[in-house]
């Protein structure tokens, strides 16, 4: 199925109970501008009395296509991550899957007023604390930590630059499960920039959410 994604900042989907909308995370840069041969996944924000719910619609997904995850930015990670894990597993275990396809988060570029995409195919989510490695942790209050030390993004960059190159350290990314998806997504953009700046640094592909 080869088609281009329509340019829009608010995605609407007609469902049995009326129109539902996904408020996408937003950023000021584009990682990937276009994805072809794709299927959409929607994770909606819903309220039931005082409870927040994540409602998933993947009725149009095809296993041998790229999957575009349209996730409402208001949802907390504690609701989003379990659904992503289920969907990753479903795609990976399908007899029709293609090794060449990717998974992407959809988001809005607020400068260009277009949709953009961030690949996360290689990320493996663990819903517990890491048992080893140097933890780079992102908190709900937007603070950043290296183990128990609070740092800025610039300080983290400086720290990684000064680490001895002769010894290979392993870094693990950790996230507070109560942060919303918009916070997480922008942290992922920062992580993406880290991996590009430090290509030989060992960043564990597992991400820990707890």
Tens of pLDDT, residue by residue over 170-198, are: 999 999 999 999 999 999 999 999 999 99
pLDDT range class, residue 51, cuts 50, 70, 90 = very high
Compute the mean pLDDT over every residue in the chain, rounded to the nearest whole number.
92
Residue 203, by phi and psi: left (phi above 0), alpha (psi -120 to 50) or beta?
beta
Give CA–CA dist 100/204, Å, rounded: 22
E strand intervals along 2-155: 10-15, 18-23, 26-27, 38-48, 51-57, 66-71, 103-109, 114-119, 124-126, 134-138, 144-146, 149-151
Give CA–CA dist 139/56, Å, rounded: 25
pLDDT range class, residue 165, cuts 50, 70, 90 = confident
Q: Region 65-91: what's the mean pLDDT?
A: 98
pTM: 0.91
**What angle (nearest 5°) sits at the alpha carbon of residue 77, between those of residues 82 and 174?**
100
- C-alpha closest to that of 170 among 133, 116, 124: 133
The DSSP symbol for 179 reads: S
pLDDT range class, residue 108, cuts 50, 70, 90 = very high
**Residue 40 CA, distance from chain mean position:** 15
Q: Percentage of the chain surpassing pLDDT 90?
A: 86
pLDDT on residue 167: 86
Q: Tokens in use for 186?
A: 């922008």
Q: Region 201-208: what's the mean pLDDT?
A: 98
Quick one: angle between helices 181-197 and 153-162, nearest 10?
Answer: 30
pLDDT on residue 130: 98
pLDDT on residue 2: 43
Whether the pLDDT of residue 116 is over 50: the answer is: yes
């Amino acid at each position: 199925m080869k088609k281009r994604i329509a340019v829009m900042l608010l995605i609407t989907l007609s469902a049995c109970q009326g129109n539902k909308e996904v408020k996408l995370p937003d950023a000021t840069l584009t990682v990937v501008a276009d994805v072809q041969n794709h299927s959409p996944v929607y994770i909606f924000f819903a309220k039931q009395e005082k409870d927040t719910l994540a409602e998933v619609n993947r009725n149009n997904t095809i296993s041998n296509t790229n999957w575009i995850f349209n996730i409402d930015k208001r949802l907390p990670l504690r609701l989003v991550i379990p659904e992503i894990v289920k969907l990753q597993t479903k795609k990976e275990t399908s007899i029709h899957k293609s090794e060449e396809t990717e998974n992407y988060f959809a988001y809005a570029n607020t400068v260009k007023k277009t949709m953009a995409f961030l690949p996360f195919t290689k990320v493996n989510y663990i819903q517990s604390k890491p048992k080893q490695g140097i933890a780079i942790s992102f908190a709900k209050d937007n603070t950043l930590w290296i183990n128990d030390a609070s740092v800025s993004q610039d300080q983290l960059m400086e720290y990684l630059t000064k680490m001895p190159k002769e010894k290979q350290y392993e870094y693990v990314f950790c996230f507070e499960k109560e942060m919303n998806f918009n916070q997480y997504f922008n942290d992922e953009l920062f992580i993406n920039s880290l991996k590009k700046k430090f290509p030989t640094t060992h960043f564990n592909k597992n991400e820990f959410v707890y």
